[in-house]
Amino acid sequence: MAFELPKLNYAFDALEPNIDAKTMEIHYGKHHNGYTNNLNNIISGTENENKSIEEILQSLNLENKGLRNNGGGYFNHNLFWQIMGPNGGGSPTSEISDSINSQFESFENFKAEFSKAASTRFGSGWAWLCAHENGNLEICSTANQDNPIMPNGCGGNPILCLDVWEHAYYLNYQNRRPDYIEAFFNVINWEEVNRIFLNK
Ligand code: MN3
């Protein structure tokens, strides 16, 4: 059974001016689509063919670079599209707000720490907010298409992520990654993040 590129719940231009339509079109239609097709080719006829993407990544052999890069790329972008939206931004509400405030003291502190993780990731990678089994939240970052559920990850469940590969922002922001990170906070769908948080 092959993995499918998930449907976007909004139009390519829905996140403008924070994320431009051309970047969305290429990022989703070329990059994410490419990871999806490569992943399907790699697992075809193997023991991974009928596993969920979570099962594949949790039991991943890190030496398997093709599966690591494309399986990670598939999973990471699925979450990324999901946690953004045209009516996003502002401050979190509900349970996730309470947890952020108790773990990081305030939303502003959380935003500063998350932004630092995203801005200091050298080269290509991701910043993450993860929920651990004991309820603790943790910010981490990963290189390339690695993620927290891989054997080298923090072990938490990802509930929020930010792609800091240049392909995610270069058309609009060029080398200004900090401006892109700031703009990302205008499109976070906190209602969806809260839903994911409660389902973990
Ligand atoms: Mn990307």
* Residue-wise pLDDT tens digits, 70-97: 999 999 999 999 999 999 999 999 999 9
Cα of 105 from ligand 1 centre, angstroms:
30
Choose the CATH number for 20-200 among 3.40.50.2300, 3.90.1170.50, 3.55.40.20, 3.40.50.300: 3.55.40.20
Residue with tokens 């390519």: 12
Cα of 165 from ligand 1 centre, angstroms:
6
**Considering only CA atoms, which of 79, 74, 87 is closest in space to residue 10?**
87
Cα of 27 from ligand 1 centre, angstroms:
6
Question: Could you state, in order of their start, the residue ranges of all structural domains in the chain?
Answer: 20-200
Cα of 52 from ligand 1 centre, angstroms:
21
Whether 169 contacts 23, CB under 8 Å: yes
Distances (CA, A) of 56 to 6, 177, 179, 185: 18, 31, 34, 30
Cα of 80 from ligand 1 centre, angstroms:
9
Cα of 31 from ligand 1 centre, angstroms:
6
Return the percentage of the chain with pLDDT > 90, whole number.
Answer: 98
Cα of 33 from ligand 1 centre, angstroms:
10
- Decide: pTM greater than 0.95: yes
Whether 100 contacts 107, CB under 8 Å: yes
Render pLDDT for 170-194 as a digit per residue (tens, 0 to 9): 999 999 999 999 999 999 999 999 9
DSSP 15: T
Copy the structure tokens of residue 191.
Answer: 């209602």
Cα of 102 from ligand 1 centre, angstroms:
31
Cα of 188 from ligand 1 centre, angstroms:
16
Cα of 54 from ligand 1 centre, angstroms:
18
Cα of 8 from ligand 1 centre, angstroms:
15
Is the model's pLDDT at 59 over the cut of 80?
yes
